[in-house]
Structure 1
């Protein structure tokens, strides 16, 4: 299974401690069920010697750029504008529709250049409220999740009083798991792939 393979879900138990406490949390990784129907994601597509991938997280500031992304099946540059090429690598920023099997994204529709894509803004899951968790506790939780998720998470950071976790795909199960472990309104899970159908 690749590093960005199906979004890892956390099965967390608080080891007898209350949610949000500083006691160690036992975390086991399992695979999320793949989404039914098409999904859409926005990001940089990098097509190099090892094939095309959609970058959903950090991109190395190299030339050409590099990332650890979701492999793309059926990707073609034919009729696609907005790309740049250096050596044997071509890349560009697009909205991509496809079917996600938990590891790979099979492209189903022509990609849309991000400059021409008008996405629906997702709702703020916090409702605009600042989180109430202390900075020290947020740092502890961030470090704990980073050590257990490793590359399965596309990003983990703290902001506005929450720990934010970006993952390729979550159907709400990961969010429920972290809520059970740390309490509600502590960890916010963001799915990079969104249901399109």
Structure 2
């Protein structure tokens, strides 16, 4: 194998894409099973229902612009019978509210098989994510021990370091711990050499370790390829999360779409270096 995950370490970087506002998918090994993509497969999802005056309602499964009124778009919601029982708002010719939907999806529209609801369907248990851990990777007794950066603003230094990291060859990801002062950085190359470079920018507590996770540059290149080539795959968001993998959120994560995503990112990432979830999941139980 080209890489192995750094044992026991969970880390996080800022997402490079829009965050999804709805969805019921879970990470590999947890949550609902992947969609088969079969005709008439019964699916469940949660999102923002948006209806413009005089037009059919839509179910927004991805990002929602936080203007007033909010703005979003998604599949047409076939069979929507109105807003009774759904908490909603109206402004400037738009009506919106959050709800659960159950039905079938044909790639363009979502056909309801039961009324929308503020509660998940009976027997359905949405997946829950475990709280993320951000372990401090080392003790750094040399932090703040002198030098030209000692006594300066660590917050500004952190910002400067983050800008430097994004251009650093071999940068994987980073996070803060210890109340926000300890910078933890993962790199693909020699950690000791990288730490010397980083210390010239950051005088606070600094931990640097070598990792075999995908680099930030590989994650970014894969995202750019998805943006350019994945228009028809229903990509709602993508970004590097707590696993250090590329998290990709689709409308439906069936085998055909997952395979197509893996093919697009193959020049940079292996299939086990991506985690694909679906906003619409099979209704089981």
Q: 1:148 to 1:179 in 2, by over 3 A?
A: closer
State the 1:42 CA deviation.
0.3
Pairing 1:1-197 to 2, within 5 Å after superposition: 33=37, 35-49=39-53, 50-77=55-82, 79-113=84-118, 120-122=125-127, 132-150=213-231, 152-160=234-242, 161-179=244-262, 181=266, 182-197=269-284
Structure 1 residue 93: deviation in Å? Answer: 0.5
Shift of 1:34: 5.3
**Counterparts of 1:41 and 1:154 in 2: how far apart (Å)?**
14
Separation in 1 of the partners of 2:255 and 2:119?
A: 27
Contact kept in structure 2, 1:175 and 1:188, CA below 8 Å: no
CA gap 1:179/1:78 in 2 versus in 1, 3 angstroms: closer
User: How far did residue 131 of structure 1 move?
Assistant: 7.9
RMSD: 3.2
Task: Give the CA deviation at 1:72.
Answer: 0.7
Offset, 1:138: 1.0
Q: TM-score of the superposition, structure 1-length normalised?
A: 0.70
Residue 37 of structure 1: CA displacement? 2.8
| 3-state SS in 1 of match to 2:227 | helix
Q: Which runs of 5+ in 1 are unaligned?
A: 1-18, 21-31
Distance 1:93 1:154 in 2: 17
> Which deviates further from its counterpart, 56-65 or 115-124?
115-124
> Deviations for 1:9-50, whole angstroms, at most 9, x for unmatched residues?
xxxxxxxxxx99xxxxxxxxxxx9554332111011011133
* Cα distance in structure 1, aligned partners of 2:274 and 2:77: 29
Larger radius of gyration: 2
3-state secondary structure, aligned to 1:51: coil
8 Å CA contact 1:84–1:92 kept in 2: the answer is yes
1:97–1:153 CA distance, 2 compared to 1 (3 A) = same
5+ long unaligned stretches in structure 2: 4-35, 134-210
